[in-house]
Structure 1
Amino acid sequence: MNSDYTQWLPKNSKVPTNVMHDDLVACIRHIIQFAGSLDTMSFYRTELNRFLAWCWLIKGQSICDMRRESIIEYIEFTIFPPASWTSPHADYAFLKNEDGTLTQNPKWRPFLQSDSSATAQSTITNTFARLSAFYRTLVSESLIDHNPVQAIRQKNTYKKKGDGTKAPKVLTDDQIVYCLKVCERLSDEADVIDSNKAFIHAERALFAFSIGLGMYLRVSELVWSENYRPTHSDFHKDSDGHWWFRTIGKGKQERVIVVSDDVLAALIRYRRILDLPDLPTASDTTPLIMSLGNGTWDNEKDWFSKIVPITDTAIMWKLFKKIFSLAREAMIKEGRIEDAYELLCASCHWLRHTGISNDVQTRAVEFVRDDAGHKTSQTTWSYVHATHRERALSKKKPTYLIK
């Protein structure tokens, strides 16, 4: 491994060239171990290519300087990479010239724009596994004296050992509070700097989070599609004064959901932000969740007539990921490390699980079943569980004291 790879190293990193060169050689040495399986080798090459770029250009450190917290930062980065690091096409990193030499491809980016699968449990677990294997190699070669990934794998929620049970994919009450607080904080900050677009972004996030949690909505039930176009008119009041929400879920099955006081308050707040009457009528065509990416909010004049719906679920996935990311940062600042780490693999579907899990403890199971759109009560009963935290706290109160 005496080849000189200096020409392939980035020029805009604060990491010394010789250090980056050693990092690259260590990665190549690890990758070629899998030469017998081209697929495996390709997976490791892709992962380490991303990791090196992040270490050098974002973190500004060598791979040998990474610690547990650094790996967590990298995982979060892969879940929600910036637009400048993504591409709609899977371009080759290098182009082969006629003389057989290679040239860096300026169109190459570390992530695909369609990599929403990066939020999936299996993908995150694979990232941990590949990085852990890489650091085991570095330890065996005495290039580093510890495996920063292994310290996380033993304590996080990505891989469970023992009785084979999985941690429930629900948010704790504290995590919910932090998510709501970051949305309100963004709204307050936007109001201070008088940014209409940032203000609407924050209020839209708060409303989407509230109805996703309060009505167990799937992400597909928040956006317009060929089968369903949700508007504010889907909220309606019956003759007894109770509010309901109509939606079409999996299997094109229509259902109506009880609207709680919390959800109704969130709806009123959101509609006031949009300069609408507090409560919708049967003729209200306002999209349930509106798009903010079409330049509508860059000019406040006549904005209401330009409201258009969201038709891409990926936008909602990213919106919720941003909420979880900001909540995680807030929790870390206040020393809530373990709770913060759990939010790394949280998704908008966790809101549905959380709402059902909370309500099934206080409402009749058949009512929750109908609101959730479950075919049988048995499915709803599966949400009756205690999280690991609740299970531990249940034994904290002393029963017998030794004197």
Structure 2
Amino acid sequence: MLKASSDAEALRSFLMGYQNTSLTYQTYLKELERLVLWCAHVQKISISDITSDDITAYQQFLMLPEPKALWCGNKRSKRLKSGEVNPDWRPFASELSPTSIKKTMSILDSFFNYLVQTQYLKGNPLSVNKRRKKRTQPQTIERWLEKTEINTVLEALSEMTEPQADAFSIIRAKYIIHTLFYTGLRLSELTNHRMGDFTLIEGAWYLKVIGKGEKPRNIVVVDEYLDALTEFRKAIDCPGLPAFNEKMPLIPMQDKLNPIKQRRIDQILKWTFEAGARRYETLANQEIEEGPKHLRRASKLRKASAHWLRHSYGTYLVKSGCPIEKVKTLMGHSDISTTMIYVHIATNDLLDSAQGLSLQEED
């Protein structure tokens, strides 16, 4: 059922089905490219030779790509402006988290199912791993930022002066932080939308998003975020509120015509989180008793990324009392079990209940 005489043609056929859904296409392309490179350079096999044991070995590799210098590095464009392959490009930024590995396996499962359904392969090597899967503990989330940490980053940006960064870079960095926290957008969604996606419906503002799997959703624009949006727009000499179908990118370059790339947003966030970390280190020297807490938060910020702010969005929606089904809709999740990880905030009740525990004798 598939006009393919090689693995390359079969892979291309699979990807062709996603060419009209750019976000999904780029994600699938990235994961399949990584698998092909691993097969060629580590296992010395082809795609059609992969067994269940190879899949298990690949999962282990994703946890710790070795040799690290060959596989991991700072994000770089795959090709130079000349069109040649960039020798500094690497398939991974670092080892993948358990959540990312689960996502990778889901994509590969779809790929191999396609090859089985089109009768290119006799079986899916991931199907055995599914049967082996053990019961796991309920997921919790640690990679999120508390309000005090986000505000410290924003304060560090506000205190920057001209030699450290130009005014536009500072105001845009603050706007990116606000946008990620108040909307919960994925990084890919952040770079693929425009100001015209803000819409006014019966006096209330929403952000229309085409998300993962090309699924549409409307995100409520709360008053605090509307203020941050207005402040940013006025700072770059635009009317305070977006115009109908306005073409300016949601996160623009300084020319206000072109969107900045995901890689550039990663760089901006790394810079802003580093500024927040340095501020915490300064506080640690000033407030000796709180010093250890400040230093821990500094180390945490240096690990943070855009997705941590998405997790903060989900966490604080739950904490504010938003029903879990509504949180699922606002975040664009397809499965309620994914949203349930944000219920971890309920542990605050456990903290209050357990505070009375003590070894001290009662008077």
TM-score range normalised by the length of the shorter chain: 0.5 to 0.7
Structure 2 residue corresponding to 1:267, chosen from 229, 245, 253 = 229
Shift of 1:243: 0.7
Q: Is the 8 A contact 1:223 1:309 kept in 2?
A: no
| Corresponding residue number in structure 2 for 1:117 | 93
- Stretches of structure 1 that go unaligned for 5 or more consecutive residues are 1-36, 50-77, 91-107, 123-162, 225-229, 293-305
- Give a deviation string over 1:81-113, Cα, whole Å, max 9, x none: 9xxxx89789xxxxxxxxxxxxxxxxx99xx35
Q: Does 1:402 align with 2:351?
A: no
| Corresponding residue number in structure 1 for 2:156 | 182
**AA at the equivalent of 1:208:** I
| Higher RCO structure, 1 or 2 (CA under 8 Å, sep 6+) | 2
Structure 1 residue corresponding to 2:306, chosen from 348, 356, 361 = 348
Q: Does 1:235 align with 2:193?
A: no
| Corresponding residue number in structure 2 for 1:358 | 316
Q: Is the 8 A contact 2:73 2:89 kept in 1?
A: no
Question: What pairs up with 1:279-358 in 2 under 5 angstroms?
Answer: 279-292=241-254, 306-310=255-259, 312-333=261-282, 334=284, 335=291, 336-358=294-316
Whole-angstrom CA distance in 2 between matches of 1:337 and 1:392: 26
| Corresponding residue number in structure 2 for 1:30 | none
Q: Is the 8 A contact 1:80 1:318 kept in 2?
A: no
1:46 and 1:259, CA in 2 relative to 1: closer, same or farther beyond 3 A? closer
Structure 2 residue corresponding to 1:215, chosen from 183, 186, 199 = 183
- Give a deviation string over 1:100-143, Cα, whole Å, max 9, x none: xxxxxxxx99xx35576138558xxxxxxxxxxxxxxxxxxxxx
**AA at the equivalent of 1:175:** E
Q: TM-score, normalised by structure 2?
A: 0.59
Q: Is the 8 A contact 1:79 1:119 kept in 2?
A: no
Question: What pairs up with 1:3-14 in 2 under 5 angstroms?
Answer: none
Identity %: 24
Whole-angstrom CA distance in 2 between matches of 1:287 and 1:248: 14
| Corresponding residue number in structure 2 for 1:155 | none
| Corresponding residue number in structure 1 for 2:337 | 378
Whole-angstrom CA distance in 1 between matches of 2:260 and 2:68: 31
Q: Is the 8 A contact 2:157 2:272 kept in 1?
A: yes
**AA at the equivalent of 1:291:** M
1:265 and 1:116, CA in 2 relative to 1: closer, same or farther beyond 3 A? farther
1:234 and 1:340, CA in 2 relative to 1: closer, same or farther beyond 3 A? same
Q: Is the 8 A contact 2:73 2:94 kept in 1?
A: yes
Q: Is the 8 A contact 2:206 2:220 kept in 1?
A: yes
Shift of 1:201: 0.6
**AA at the equivalent of 2:343:** V
Q: Does 1:168 align with 2:117?
A: no
1:113 and 1:394, CA in 2 relative to 1: closer, same or farther beyond 3 A? farther
- Give a deviation string over 1:207-253, Cα, whole Å, max 9, x none: 111111111100001113xxxxx1111111111x1110011110111
Q: Is the 8 A contact 1:87 1:113 kept in 2?
A: yes
Q: Is the 8 A contact 2:156 2:275 kept in 1?
A: yes
The number of residue pairs the alignment matches comes to 254
Whole-angstrom CA distance in 2 between matches of 1:316 and 1:116: 17
Larger radius of gyration: 1
In structure 2, the residue corresponding to 1:384 is in which secondary structure? helix
Q: Does 1:368 align with 2:327?
A: yes
Q: Does 1:199 align with 2:167?
A: yes
Q: Is the 8 A contact 2:139 2:341 kept in 1?
A: no
- Give a deviation string over 1:36-59, Cα, whole Å, max 9, x none: x9xx9xx88866x9xxxxxxxxxx
